[in-house]
Structure 1
Amino acid sequence: MKKLVLNSILSFCFLMTLTLKAQTSKTTVEPPLEYNPTQPIPTDPNVKTGVLDNGLTYYIQNNPKPENKVELRLVINAGSILETEDQLGLAHFMEHMNFNGTKNFKKNELVDYLQSIGVKFGAHLNAYTGFDETVYILPIPSDDPEKLEKGFQIIEDWAHNALLTDEEIDNERGVVLEEYRLGKGADERMMQKYLPKMMHGSMYAERLPIGTKENLETFNYESLKRFYKDWYRPDLMAVIAVGDIDIATLEAKIKSHFSAIKNPKNSKPRPSFDLPNHKETFIAIESDKEAPFSNVRLMFKDKVNAIPDQTYEDYRTSMVENLFSQMINNRLDELRNGDNPPFVYGFTYYGGTYARTKNAFQSTAMTSPTGQLEALKTLLIENERVRQHGFFQEEFKRAKKDLIANMERAYKDRDKMESNRIVGRYVDHYLEQNPIPSMDWRYAFMNSQLPTITLEEVNALINSYIKEDNRVVIMTGPEKEDLKKVTEAEVLELLDTVKTMELKPYEDKTVATSLLSEMPKKGQITDSKTDAILGTTTLKLSNGATVTYKKTDFKNDEILFEAFSYGGTSLYSTEDYKATVNANGGLTEAGVNGFNKVELGKMMSGKIANVRPSIGTYSEGFTGNTTPKDIETLFQLTHLYFTALNKDEKAFKSYVEKQKAFLGNLLSSPQFYFQDRLSEFIYGKNPRYTGFPTAEAMDKANYSLAYEKYNERFADASDFHFYFVGNIDEEKLANLAETYLASLPAINRNETYKISDYRPLTGSHKKVIEKGEDPKSSVRITYHGPTAYNEKEAHALKSLAEVLTIKLIEKLREEEGGVYGAGASASISHMPYDWYRFNISFPCGPENVDKLIAATLNEVDQLIKDGPTPKDLEKVKKAQILDYKEDLKTNRYWVRQLKDADYLKKDAQKILNFEEAVNNLTVADLHQVAKKYLTQGHITGIHNPEK
């Protein structure tokens, strides 16, 4: 069941069933040959579950991907919904405190230790708090018994060994208040107003996980300690361990660390909180002068409480619901891609609310500031159209094809799934009590039951979904003097009008079955070379194009694709560039080979093949993905995007209207405004600088010229280089390359890109930008300028930024309590010209800007003076090597590295030398680049609220 998302504290949750008895590990189950509606859904035999005597539940699974790593989770079935009035925000505060001193890891020791073994704070180590749960996330190396033991000691300490000293509680107030400050803004202000209507009569309207500023500043220490004592207890906990280690070892660790924990005497019952029914239709129409987007949400809440799926019949019903959502969303996509789109995007689904106990049929849309009522009308009409006429056989067939295609892909890769994608199923299983069948069972069940699902079953759902009570309409958007606000009376009138409309049935037009009108004249492979070190093969085609591929076994059903050719918009005149820059994104909205975007979508039913052409500043190219089964479709689409892009003024106008709706009020957001103005300050003197794409700029975009330029950029395939990485049939790929790539037009231009004389603003400058009413500031410090590219220096500067990130977290967050997060990043590039960049950024309170900038620059000065400590450098090196070893086993990493090596004119074989390069990094290397690159002045950008 899909949960709504409030902010970074909340997560998506899916209902799963809790199985308490320990199970033996197997690899397959017998397929459900006979359908018994009341038969329980079997739990995946690959997971071993159990319950300790104290009530703690555990889940264990051996999974070899990635190697030498185990994902640990500590799940607490307690969140902000359990807080008393004096504890508002303390469920989340408690999450923070577990990183600030436990029995075995004193203040800062926990993060320091994990960094020393390559586990990054935030990127790897993390936690989140929701209304009903708190979840701690810890990935740990599994190839070292000591590290594994320490990992389990950490999650045990989180469970019952937090120190909660008065001093550390007070120290953490500033950090949590900074996170509270980050969440403030237009969206939060509007949510505070509509949440009491959305979650009417429930505690969910009164227990946002972040809490209140007043309580975070003043709560008593005992209030936090009481929450920890009451709710952090074994009978409300689950420990989950999935990774590359045997089950017996993991089970022994769990038992040794958690069996002795005792539940408190006279434990409080863990209550469940209902979402009461209401006869009224609640309407919330909220606006804010800083709101960047306009949205509409329509909810029909169930009258009865949600019951977890438990039986074959339940699982089959969820498939019926999925088919319903697939078909109605296909219709909404047609509308958004048609003439006069009623919204930027819109979708409908049946699923969860913030309350565990209540599901709802929900529709939502992003609109233009003036289009909210029209978007709501469209959502209502399409729901009503289904109620009056239902869906039709052809769209039903397409939905089934898509459902089975996605299931097949998951099934084929069931033995190649990463542990961090598996572990979430068990988190949800513990919290929400829905089943966790194996992929074998799910695939067999879908194959046996999908053909038996009738259109009548799907059509019948709408009558249980739509109702006139338990109904909520929410509209949020900008507040402007010249913008007429929708009234509650208008919404009520619309609700009454639509239900009495006599609507025409949906018209499902027949589409062709083949993408190509005729097969292209086949070319040839003229040369083939293999690189035994990289495991790649490079083909030269008769039209001059080049294909490089790498066959891997990282995924069974994945092939990734990229391509590039030098040139891009750098070859446009300045006048042509400015005329087309806002049009390029809409070129593919017209479709290819006479098929519009809607028709292409229908033709692609049951297929997984995506191709995205693009024109960048210095190159044009493609990205895409497919499966071994559908690879020919990817080749065909690529061929057509070269040779048969449609031109459709109506499709482009539709794109422009959606972009205007999306972008129209974006600069009302203080954060977007700051980004735009600081960018103009640094880059504004570029003759090609166009700034933020306003509605007026979108209207002036020259579609005809952009279309002409697109055809010009893709008129010559002779200098294109294509890359494929994944489970490749080499003979098939070679044949497809000859058929669809070697047949592309070639005029042998052998182009490169043009480099302008312009360079960004450098030196020492300060820019203060004021926008917004909330007491929120942010700081960006930029060091950049010309240099001579050096690969070792590039690596050292990037590593220096990672060291500085560690120091900023220690100083600005842990010592000063002045930020929630801070970081630095760096690079040296030699394409299109040699240039270095070193950026530092953090949000904070306006009163702390000067102090925190001074503290930041002091950390920079320390690196310039002394370089990093060996300990900090070692942390960075460990993290880089861990990430690299995981990346090496992914198609995503390889396709990008192979392409970038050629694009940036580097030696691709150095991909395999990265670990050596990391190990060779020295303190002196980082000290040298600190002195060289951080002493040439910097640009300080400051965002403050309006005075």
Structure 2
Amino acid sequence: MDLRFASISVFAFASIQAPATADAQSAQASIAPTVVVPRPAASWPTIGSDVPLDPAWHTGTLANGVRYAVRRGKQPPGTISVRVRMDVGALMERDEQQGWSHLVEHMVFRGTAHYPDGEGVRVWQRLGASFGSDTNAFTALRSTTYALDLPRADAASYSQALSVLSDMLTSATIDPKLLTTERAVVMAERAQRMPPLVRKMRETTQPLFFAGTKSATRDIAGNDATLNGASASALRAYYKAWYRPSRAVVVVVGDADPALLEQGVRTAFGAWTAEGAEPTEPDYGTPRAPATSVATVSDPQLPSQAILALVTPHDDGVYTIARQQRNFVDAVAIGILRRRLDSVAQRGESIILATVGVTRQRHIEDEVIVAITPKPGQWSQALEATYRVLNGALAAPPSQAEVDEQTAKLIQSLSSAVSTEQTLASAAVANGFVGSIDQQGGTAAPIFYLRLFALQRATLTPDVIQSAIKRLLAPDPRLLIASNVPVPVETAAKALASSRAAAADAGVAVREVSLAQLTLAGQPATVTGSDKIADLGIERVHLSNGVEIDLKQTAFEKNRIRVVVTFGHGLLGETTAGASSLWSSAAVTAGGIGPFSADELERLGAGRAILFGFGVGVDRFTFTGASGRRDVESMMKLMAAELTQPQFRAAPLGRLRDAVGVGYQSTFSQPVSVFQRFGAPYLHGGDARFAPLPPLSTVEGLTLPDFRSFWSKRLASGPLRVLIVGDFDRDATVAAVARTIGTLAPRTDDRPPASLVDVKADVPARGPVQLHHEGDPLQAVVAKAYPTIGLLDDVPTSTALDIAARLVETRMIEQFREQQGGTYSPFASHPQSSAMPHYGVFLAGAQLQTGRIDDFTRALNAIIVDLGAHGPTPDALARARTVASSASERALSDNGYWMNVLTGDLDDPRYLAFTKAAVSRWTDVTPATVKAAVARYLRPERGFAIEVLPVAPTVTK
């Protein structure tokens, strides 16, 4: 259950990232040189529109007004994804009803006419759907959406799952006693998702950016007065008024006959009847100029930002081809502005990061948002530098090369949608259709958009794009300055006026770049041998330079090839002192590769899938990218060059240092972020290498020579493995590796000593570990940790502990959340790592009010003691096993899962046996094995607590 509202934008430093794409050339070849002729609108998604509905969708409207759209989806196999969008959200609420849409969303899970409290979730669990990930709901300004991803596609399971969902939407009981508890849960969620810093930003931005619209005064989360004012009878009346067939859209995508999917909708929702008159649509308002166009907000924890918003009314009419074509033009225009701003940021002057984007929201407004992260104390200089870019775009048309770069990117994206359409996950397809409803345009087939843009492309001249830029930048700007020190509004207003008058940036001359300019020194390697792990479908190929290629060929993602190059020993290869520079990994590829600067690499990658990211793993360093058959060799050529021809530059390192410094203090704004950033070493036996960041003084003290020396050594050492998963040509791909990574010189393997690898989650000290945050003084995070065993030390026991984590989390939800209202999101997990042979930790915790810490501890201890003494009930165990095995079975159809498999030690027979038993191992868990594992490893004296408390602890009962 989630609230969809904006939070603080803290821009992370960007390394080279791999776009999600496929082979654009093959898709382009299929474009027919004919004019697109839309077919007549035939169903509710296309009424009044000339955008044709994708014929794969089967749509209709039931007699009671429920609209539906169903289609076949085969990924993952044997699954069905259901979405029900209710046309009710925060914009439908009166002032005294704020938060009621979200409160109703919670209450429909708390009992219906045919399913008592909790039973609906248990039914879904018996079918293999987990609460929270497979079953959830989301409240937004304009809608409330219910999501169910069912791991079974048979008619009986589908019917039963829909029966629960339809009962929730048609006959929720909204019991007064349960409302009292769930109100506390909703308030806990609000406290977790809306800490004081986020709320301060919202209270400043809403009247500035949304002046004149109802959105300016709406809070999805509500407040104490409105939530406490929601009696059961009043909330039930609100539910009956807005939850009615005419406001429901049911979307189903799954591995079943569409006729069966449609019949399921008819059976489950066909008898739904509305009570009373249709509610009156609210006055959504119209954007108008705010009382003042400049606002500032300050807080010691705030990262510095300057945000410009250029607002225009949204066209609430139907979606048309003409509007889509205008959006294509705007996408090219915005892309050019974004690239120019990024180029300025790369110079390392006053801007750390700057970007621009467009949001279009029905019943709200359209916005062009320019978000700037300045260097500390340089927001006014950054604002002026931004306006030099904007004014330059207004003063003269872009170059043809700039237009070509952005159109190539757009073609790549549209082509990717075409080539991956048949293998896109059903959940993603369903989510996409629900998202399109707000535009009232339905969903056309991906090939329609590709062909439409191909026909339009020749018309996108520099003059046309400049006209779009002028239109997009025409509104008077609204400026928000966020700072950790006070900034007078008058000062910000003067800076805005001055910046708007800044001289236009003429840009810089750019040279033509081509991959032909990059040369690899060595000779291609030859294949010296290969072997197969037949029952896993994995092949291992060995090259003459010592490189190992591990391949897993799949058809899960059409024409998509995932590549990971691993080398070295990552975190475990470092001493505590050596690890202090690992935080700077994001700046490694940001300086450029070989003869290319980072800006040139971006241009080189336009329309091609050749860019990749660099990361630090527990036991390896990685280059990670996704490509298609046309581009995979080019991507690996760049990866090989990064290992031998890295470019270390001062500007990217300086930007990263500044970015870390800007965002560092905001870590302390809420307990969860403190736990995530500073709790990890305590979960690894006090090992400081696992801290995501060293002290800020260490970050600030890293010089360019030290940075270059640190990473040059690591890029040049350690054995190389190339892991490839996806839809590839085996022989061509092996040859591509041989011509790229295979040209590198053989590398030695200096394995770290056992003392650095044998990490355990030992108890760090007596008593709880206490960390502190500076956010809401009534909020805390508490987690209890119990050291366990390594992943392969004792697989049956590890599996039993995995199940125990599911059981503990479920019971914490049922008992501490749903019965006591003590928290929104209790969690339990059992992380292990094959990289650390004897590491395991059982972790259970929650964010909660400080006064509920003792209650949580008692509840958790009681659950663990009961499991250790009696084991789970047969039904609870069966549900946990079914959910776990269903998740494992679905993972077998996921390329990400197989890439993770390849990263393990394929020479270890224990690891291979574990992998082969990914699904079957869950069936061996019994009440006795869970009871024994809990009794052995979750004894009170074995565990320790980590508490994140407010700086000045406030305890309330």
Q: Taking structure 2 as the reference length, what is the TM-score of the superposition?
A: 0.90
What letter matches 1:513 in structure 2? S
Say yes or no: does 1:135 pair with 2:145. yes
Aligned equivalent of 1:610: 611
Distance 2:653 2:506 in 1: 27
Aligned equivalent of 1:721: 721
Give the alignment of 1:570-581 within 5 angstroms: 570-571=572-573, 575-578=577-580, 580-581=581-582
Aligned equivalent of 2:11: none
By how many angstroms is 1:586 displaced?
Answer: 2.3
Cα deviation 1:515-544 (Å, max 9, x = unaligned)? 653354122111122333222221111112
Match for residue 534 of structure 2 among 532, 535, 542: 532
Match for residue 445 of structure 2 among 434, 438, 441: 438
Secondary structure in structure 2 of the residue aligned to 1:66 = coil
Cα deviation 1:260-293 (Å, max 9, x = unaligned)? 32333432232351233227552221123443x2
By how many angstroms is 1:622 displaced?
Answer: 2.7
Cα deviation 1:581-608 (Å, max 9, x = unaligned)? 4444422222111322111111111111
What letter matches 2:479 in structure 1? V
Aligned equivalent of 1:85: 95
Aligned equivalent of 2:596: 595
Say yes or no: does 1:797 pair with 2:801. yes
Structure 1 pair 681–139 and aligned structure 2 pair: CA distance change class (3 A): closer
Contact 2:637 2:740 in 1 (8 A): yes
Distance 1:285 1:4 in 2: 24
What letter matches 1:422 in structure 2? V
Aligned equivalent of 2:161: 151
Aligned equivalent of 1:242: 253
Match for residue 375 of structure 1 among 363, 382, 395: 382
Q: Comparing 164-173 with 684-693, which one deviates more in the overlay?
A: 684-693
Structure 1 pair 7–261 and aligned structure 2 pair: CA distance change class (3 A): farther
What letter matches 2:857 in structure 1? I
By how many angstroms is 1:865 displaced?
Answer: 1.2
Secondary structure in structure 1 of the residue aligned to 2:137 = strand
Distance 1:245 1:866 in 2: 41
Structure 1 pair 196–532 and aligned structure 2 pair: CA distance change class (3 A): same
Contact 1:723 1:899 in 2 (8 A): yes
By how many angstroms is 1:575 displaced?
Answer: 4.7
Secondary structure in structure 2 of the residue aligned to 1:544 = coil
Say yes or no: does 1:701 pair with 2:702. yes
Say yes or no: does 1:941 pair with 2:940. no
Structure 1 pair 901–632 and aligned structure 2 pair: CA distance change class (3 A): same
Q: Comparing 92-101 with 882-891, which one deviates more in the overlay?
A: 882-891
Match for residue 262 of structure 2 among 222, 229, 251: 251
Distance 2:151 2:619 in 1: 41
Note the aligned Cα RMSD (angstroms): 2.8
Give the alignment of 1:555-704 within 5 angstroms: 555-568=557-570, 570-571=572-573, 575-578=577-580, 580-616=581-617, 618-663=619-664, 665-667=666-668, 669-675=670-676, 678=679, 686=687, 692-704=693-705
Distance 2:689 2:262 in 1: 62
What letter matches 1:109 in structure 2? E
Distance 1:416 1:570 in 2: 37
Aligned equivalent of 1:220: 231
Q: Tell me the matched-pair count.
A: 913
Structure 1 pair 143–349 and aligned structure 2 pair: CA distance change class (3 A): closer
Structure 1 pair 32–197 and aligned structure 2 pair: CA distance change class (3 A): farther
Match for residue 780 of structure 2 among 769, 777, 781: 777
Q: Comparing 802-811 with 215-224, which one deviates more in the overlay?
A: 215-224
Distance 2:623 2:824 in 1: 38
Aligned equivalent of 2:199: 188
Give the alignment of 1:275-294 within 5 angstroms: 275-278=286-289, 281-291=292-302, 293-294=303-304
Give the alignment of 1:459-498 within 5 angstroms: 459-467=466-474, 469=476, 471-478=477-484, 483=485, 485-498=486-499
Give the alignment of 1:43-442 within 5 angstroms: 43-182=53-192, 183-278=194-289, 281-291=292-302, 293-302=303-312, 304-308=313-317, 310-343=319-352, 345-353=353-361, 356-442=363-449
By how many angstroms is 1:782 displaced?
Answer: 1.0
Contact 1:887 1:893 in 2 (8 A): yes
Say yes or no: does 1:832 pair with 2:836. yes
By how many angstroms is 1:367 displaced?
Answer: 3.7
Distance 2:250 2:669 in 1: 44
Distance 1:650 1:253 in 2: 58
Match for residue 920 of structure 2 among 913, 916, 922: 916
Structure 1 pair 573–246 and aligned structure 2 pair: CA distance change class (3 A): closer
What letter matches 1:243 in structure 2? G
Contact 1:234 1:262 in 2 (8 A): yes
Secondary structure in structure 2 of the residue aligned to 1:802 = helix
By how many angstroms is 1:95 displaced?
Answer: 0.6
Aligned equivalent of 2:849: 845
By how many angstroms is 1:320 displaced?
Answer: 0.3
Q: Comparing 510-519 with 852-861, which one deviates more in the overlay?
A: 510-519
Distance 2:446 2:274 in 1: 36
By how many angstroms is 1:854 displaced?
Answer: 0.8
Structure 1 pair 497–747 and aligned structure 2 pair: CA distance change class (3 A): closer
By how many angstroms is 1:769 displaced?
Answer: 3.9
Say yes or no: does 1:710 pair with 2:711. yes
By how many angstroms is 1:545 displaced?
Answer: 1.6
Structure 1 pair 171–632 and aligned structure 2 pair: CA distance change class (3 A): same
Distance 2:424 2:134 in 1: 18
Secondary structure in structure 1 of the residue aligned to 2:212 = coil
Identity %: 19
Distance 1:514 1:781 in 2: 53
Structure 1 pair 749–174 and aligned structure 2 pair: CA distance change class (3 A): closer
Say yes or no: does 1:451 pair with 2:458. yes
Distance 1:727 1:849 in 2: 50
By how many angstroms is 1:912 displaced?
Answer: 2.9
By how many angstroms is 1:97 displaced?
Answer: 0.8
Q: Identify unmatched segments of 5+ residues in structure 1.
A: 9-28
Structure 1 pair 51–541 and aligned structure 2 pair: CA distance change class (3 A): same
Structure 1 pair 675–911 and aligned structure 2 pair: CA distance change class (3 A): closer
Aligned equivalent of 1:509: 510
Cα deviation 1:77-128 (Å, max 9, x = unaligned)? 1112222233221111111111011111111111111112211111110011
Match for residue 878 of structure 1 among 871, 874, 882: 882
By how many angstroms is 1:360 displaced?
Answer: 1.8
By how many angstroms is 1:724 displaced?
Answer: 0.5
Secondary structure in structure 1 of the residue aligned to 2:546 = coil
By how many angstroms is 1:615 displaced?
Answer: 4.7
Q: Taking structure 1 as the reference length, what is the TM-score of the superposition?
A: 0.91
Cα deviation 1:198-217 (Å, max 9, x = unaligned)? 22233222221111112222
Q: Comparing 72-81 with 567-576, which one deviates more in the overlay?
A: 567-576
Distance 1:786 1:151 in 2: 37
Contact 2:195 2:670 in 1 (8 A): no
Secondary structure in structure 2 of the residue aligned to 1:742 = helix
